[in-house]
């Protein structure tokens, strides 16, 4: 595919649909769920996994949502 990658519909809505083109109504929407914790994690890592899962149910973690150290 050549050219610029298409902008997500959500971002177009936030920006006020600057191009005034029809919005994509068939765009896939992510399922919001807390992923299951891997069994091989240590107990402290499992606790952190659960803590982050409750803070951010979309599972889109950022570096700012982890424990410093």
Tally of structural domains, the chain:
1
Q: Within 13 A of 11's CA, how many CA atoms are on the CB side? A: 4
Q: Domain span at residue 17? A: 9-65
What does pLDDT average to in each consecutive run of 10 residues of the chain (69 residues)?
Answer: 86 92 87 75 88 64 54
Cα distance from N-terminal residue to C-terminal residue, the chain: 42
Asked if residue 1 belongs to a domain, the reply is no
pTM here is: 0.45
- State the Cα–Cα distance between residues 27 and 64, nearest whole angstrom: 29
Predicted local distance difference test score (pLDDT) of residue 8: 87
- The answer to the question of residue 3 being in a domain is no
């Amino acid at each position: 595919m050549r050219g610029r990658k298409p902008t997500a519909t959500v971002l177009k809505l936030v920006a006020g649909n600057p191009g005034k083109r029809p919005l994509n109504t068939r765009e896939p929407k992510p399922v919001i769920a807390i992923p299951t914790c891997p069994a091989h994690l240590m107990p402290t890592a499992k606790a952190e996994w659960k803590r982050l899962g409750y803070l951010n149910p979309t599972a889109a973690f950022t570096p700012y949502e982890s424990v410093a150290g």
